[in-house]
Every structure is written in C-alpha cells, then in structure tokens.
Structure 1
Amino acid sequence: MLKVPPRAVGVDPRPRMMAAARERWPEAEFREAGAEDLPFADGSVRGYRADKVVHVLQEPGRAVAEARRVLCPGGRIALVGQVWGAIMIDSDDAAFTRTIVHARADLLGTPRAGRQYRSLLLAGGFDDVTVEAHTSVFTDPATLSLLARLAEPACAGGAVGRDQADEWLAEQRRRAEAGRLLIAIPFFVASASA
C-alpha cells in the first residue's frame, strides 16, 4: 500500500498574507480563511498549529472548537503565542515602559490568550494537555524595530505622548549602541490530543 506523506496547508484570512506566503513558497498550499471557519471537512486533519494567532481573535474558544472539529481522533493541536502584557524591556523608566507594553497589549483581541491556552484546550474537549513557557531574549540592535512596533500603537492610541515615546525610543537606541539592549518575550506553547 502506498503511503501518502503528510502535507501542510497554510491558512490566513488576509489576502496580503496569502500573497506573501505564495510568493515565498510557490509550491505550498494555502487557503484564505479564518481560524473560526476552517475550509476542511470534519475529522480530516491530523495536526493543527496556531502560531501567534490566538491573541488577535475576539473569541478564541470558537477557533479552538473549530480546530477540534477538523482534527481526526488522536490528532494533535499546538498553540504558540507571546504573552503581550509580560514583555520585559530594560529601561531607565520602568513605569513608562510598562505603560507602553500594556497599551500595545490592550489593542489586541485577546492579549493574554497565552495564559488561557490550557483552559481553552480543556474546555474544547482536548486530552493530554501540556503547557510550556519559554522566553526569547533579544540583545541585537536589529530588534529595535520591535520596540517601535510597541511604541507607535501606544502613541497613536493616546496612551503615551509623542515626545515621551520618542525619548523612550532614543534611550533604547543609546542602550543598543552601548551594547545594553535587552528585550525578553515570554511565549506559551500548549499541545493536546483530539
């Protein structure tokens, strides 16, 4: 009997992301859809991975239920995502840094979803649920762009002033130039069986 190797199918609801994925991997298969309405038959998928997805959803439980629907018995699910409100940045002004981090987190659908992975999977009827926490540490000046992606939305949303945000970013650039930049981002990795 000829055994068919497993194949991965990428799914994203945004046409821009689909175009970028198809350009990068022209031989791969991609489908435009959201996590709450997957284009797969019941029980037709052996593995499901949502990588940095759940925190942007308004109703992560719906996405977990949809993953359960498409997974075959014994299929595996993995959820991976950063804990937005817990991002750690070395700074001279810890209170202002917390304000930026929390303001950015609060703009997401479910910014603390990583903490809920275990409960989401158990409520979704999954078995053998495991959760791990990992922290990625960045010290390379090339990661300064990540700090701008935190500060800009906090500024645009009115949580911090433009002058304050610019001074904070300038401090981080000085830290990078002196070899003292430090950003730590905790991630949760949860897995389970259908």
Structure 2
Amino acid sequence: MSNQSLIALLDRVDRHPGQAALRARSYELLGLAAGSRVVDVGCGAGLAVAEMAALGARPIGLDVDGQVIEVARSRHPGLEFRRSDACDLPFGDGELAGYRADKVYHALADPARAAAEAWRVLAPGGRIVLMGQDWDTFVIDSDDPALTRVMVRARADAVPSPHAARRHRTLLLDAGFADVTAEVRTGVFTDGSLLPMVTGVAEGAYAAGAVTRCQADDWIAEQTGRARRDRLFLAVPMFLAAARRP
C-alpha cells in the first residue's frame, strides 16, 4: 500500500467515533499537564499531536517515514514533527514527561528495545501509553469462515511483531515500569469506506502464498458486495497499556 493510500485509510479510521474516544482515553492515561513535553511515536499525519497540543501539552510527533512527516507538517504548521526510529529517539535521558505510541509496536522487529528506549527518555514519574491491534484477533464476517481464518492468520504472520499488542503489559513490566494497567476497546467497523482495510487482509494472504489468486478475488468480491449492501462487519480489539516510570 502506498503512503498516500495508507494515510487516506488511517484518516477514515481516525474519523470513526470509537477511535476518537480511544485517543481521548490515551490522553487521559497520559495525564497530560499544561506545558508537559510529550512524544507521539509513529505520529502519522499528526492528528494526535494536534489534539494533545489543544489540551495544553507540548507534543513532538515522530515517524520513521519522511513523507508522512511532511504530510503532518503541512497539516499542522507550527507543531513539531521529526523523522525518527522508535528504537533510537532524539532525546536525552529523562527529557520527557509523556510517551505515546499508537499502532506502532507491531511494526517493530524488537518491541522490547523500543520500550527500553521509552524508559530512557522519560523522567521519573513520566507516563507511557501503548496502543495497538493484535493481528490475530481481527473478526470479519464472511460466507467462508474457514478461509477467512486462514487469511487473517497469514496476514498476521506477515507483520514483524503481530502479537505485540497482547504483550504491551509484559513489555512495560520487563522494561521496569510501575503501576502498569491494561485494557481493551473493540472497534466495530461497518462503513464501506473501510473496505480497503478488509480487502487488504486477502491481498496480504495472497502475497504470503496462503491462498490462491482466485480465492482472494472471490473473497474480495464477497466483501465488496457486503459493503454495497451494508453488510460489512469488521471488529478489531485495540489493546491499551499504561504505566509510570518510577
């Protein structure tokens, strides 16, 4: 998927009421204080950075993709965005009051290293919030549940760390964080505008060699028909973990 297509898809997801509530919950868990310096790792087009700035914080958005950073800068002039890897943050030890990462750790080969880096840049008492989906827990209604199960598993296996979200709590505990909490909020998507998220599962399974081109095309045709008839159903549990650096 191109950067432009990915940003367009994430924009549609972000506009979903459930996702707005999820972001608001992450800010609550961060305990944002006026003027607090916080980082949004994997900031994408910068929506969360803008929302945290509106709440009075001093956020910095980071993303590994330079083109995405340029989009964020164009959408939110006056806010701070930098290109950076989650495992090598451009901050000194104990420099930040808050750390947020949304839909990031599954894309990392070594999520534990990122959690250790979060520990390094947070000041004592600083808060961390991790959010993300577990790629094995997508629920998609289909006329062929067995094939759907194969596709979801194959798509998950193509992700560097598909189960990172279920491990958020363990990652934080192992990194030395305290007062670790975990919760889940399930997003339910029936809007046909999110069809690319569903069909991407089939394309990923085909690319992995788990299904034939014919199987993928037939499944995509079924899901496209469901979207046309308002019968699309996708449920994605989102796992949140929050903690404090002692």
Partner of residue 110 from structure 1, selected from 141, 161, 171: 161
AA aligned opposite 2:149 = R
Q: Is 1:166 paired with 2:246?
A: no
Question: So what's the TM-score if we normalise by structure 2?
Answer: 0.76
AA aligned opposite 1:183 = L
The equivalences for 1:113-124 within 5 A come to 113-124=164-175
Equivalent position SS for 2:136: helix
The CA deviation at 1:83 is 1.2
Structure 1 unpaired stretches of 5+:
none
Please name the residue that 1:135 is paired with: 186
The equivalences for 1:66-77 within 5 A come to 66-77=117-128
Equivalent position SS for 1:20: helix
The CA deviation at 1:112 is 0.5
Q: Is 1:181 paired with 2:207?
A: no
Q: Is 1:41 paired with 2:92?
A: yes
2:135 and 2:163 in contact (8 A); partners too: yes
Distance in 2, matches of 1:19 and 1:163, equals: 38
AA aligned opposite 2:97 = R
Q: Describe the superposition over 1:110-166 as per-residue Cα deviations: whole angstroms up to 9, x where unpaired.
A: 000011011100000000000001110011111111112222122122111111111
Corresponding residue pairs, total: 192
Partner of residue 157 from structure 1, selected from 171, 191, 208: 208
If asked which structure has higher relative contact order (CA below 8 Å, sep 6+), I would say 1
Larger helix share, 1 or 2:
2
Please name the residue that 2:26 is paired with: none
Partner of residue 137 from structure 2, selected from 86, 91, 110: 86
Q: Is 1:32 paired with 2:67?
A: no
Distance in 1, matches of 2:231 and 2:159, equals: 29
Distance in 2, matches of 1:100 and 1:28, equals: 40
Q: In percent, how many aligned pairs have the same letter?
A: 52
The structure with the largest alpha-carbon Rg is: 1
Find runs of 4+ consecutive structure 1 residues off by over 4 angstroms: none
Distance in 1, matches of 2:87 and 2:140, equals: 33
Distance in 2, matches of 1:26 and 1:151, equals: 37
Distance in 2, matches of 1:176 and 1:149, equals: 14
Moved more, 67-76 or 101-110: 101-110
Question: So what's the TM-score if we normalise by structure 1?
Answer: 0.95
